[in-house]
Amino acid sequence: MSLQPADTHPALLGSLLPPSGVPLLNFSPGPTSLAAEVQAGIKALFDAQRMCSMYLSHRSPEFLDILTNTVQRCRMAMDIPQQYEILFMHGGGHGQFAAVPLNLCPHGDEKATYLVNGTWSKRALSEASKYCRPIVVSSESVAGTFTHNPSFENLDPESKYVYLCSNETVNGIELHHLPKLSIKAPLVIDASSDFSTKPIDWVGCNVGVLYACASKNIGHPGVTLCVIRRDLLGTPSKLCPGVLCYTTNAREGNLWNTIATFNVEVVNIYMQWMIAQGGVHEMERRSIAKSAMLYDLIDKSEGFYSTPISDPSIRSRMNIPFDVAGGDEETTRNFLVQAWERGIVGLRTLTPFGVGKYLRASLYNGVSVQQTEGLVAFMADFLKTYRTQ
């Protein structure tokens, strides 16, 4: 199929709707697809005899049962200790960029260390600078790129907390295990893109706050799961709005204002599915298997495909950036069009950061091993065809 003029082909505009009748393989960076069983569970909500949570009062006993079950299943699935509150909050990850310092730095001039290893931790730092005094430890190069993590050594012991993003979706960098720091400050973790994909050592790694917007691995947009250690509650800034206040929302049992009822039930369905699949350890096994397939193809392509992260120990299992033919524009366009025609979408989506050299394959829990095999097979075929032309 020939390309349409300029970038008007749907595949080049980030379309997620392939030709009619073609099975969909969605590798979007988020929001993204849910597992088929989770989607079936959501559809069943509308066929059930009870009132659907989409229009169920958040203070009704029926919804309170859903909320209680969701909290319990989250705690079970991720082995969250009892000394942590589980909240469902509004505002996504961006809301938490402000919520963290507003809750943990009551005076606004406290030190907080920010470990910057990519786009999202850098953006979190920018927002936090309004509400605390950040100490920045960054791995950004002079050219503005990120290819490794900053040092975890010699951190400021006066920090109220140490902030990090455990998986940088844009840059393809992941912490497969949380660090155990030498200072006593609690860890604050943006786990929006890797929560539920690997176990967390909550106590051993001194996790104070962990948050994850739902739209990548635990549900769909509109709710953010926040896990807060209880000893960090009680001293928010006077400027902290109630909708972002951990203390207020914990005290009110997640019901200070109208909670996102339907979104919470979707998280419940997701956690049921995850537990039935074998839990977080099975999710991690699949993540390792899926990402290994794709990285293996890239590494053995003799440079036709390449990824900016050379160190296997920090390569993201969730988001794999790669280029085609060294970033050649025409070859990349042909790649995207042919992928779209096969139902493979989401490798290039519109973002606030524009369109760079690299495409991205996102392998969240909703992407199966079989779907990943489909992507790898296409990329291998495309490479073979390119070399025989």
Closest CA to 214 of 280, 271, 279: 271
Q: Which of 198, 216, 290, 340 is catalytic?
A: 216
In whole angstroms, give the CA distance from residue 15 to residue 28: 10
Spatial distance between the Cα atoms of 361 and 374, rounded to a whole number of angstroms = 12
Amino acid identity, position 30: G
Residue 314's φ and ψ, nearest 5 degrees, are -120, 5
What's the token pair of residue 332? 């990349």
CB neighbour class for 37 (10 Å; exposed up to 12, middle 13-18, buried from 19): middle
Cα diameter, the chain: 67
Which of 122, 190, 273, 290 is the catalytic position? 190
Is residue 190 flagged as an active site residue?
yes
* Closest by Cα among 232, 224, 256, 278 to 59: 256
Amino acid at 74: C
Our answer to whether residue 122 is catalytic in this structure is no
Number of residues written out for the chain: 389
Active site residue 328: no
DSSP state of 23: P
Active site amino acids: 120, 190, 216
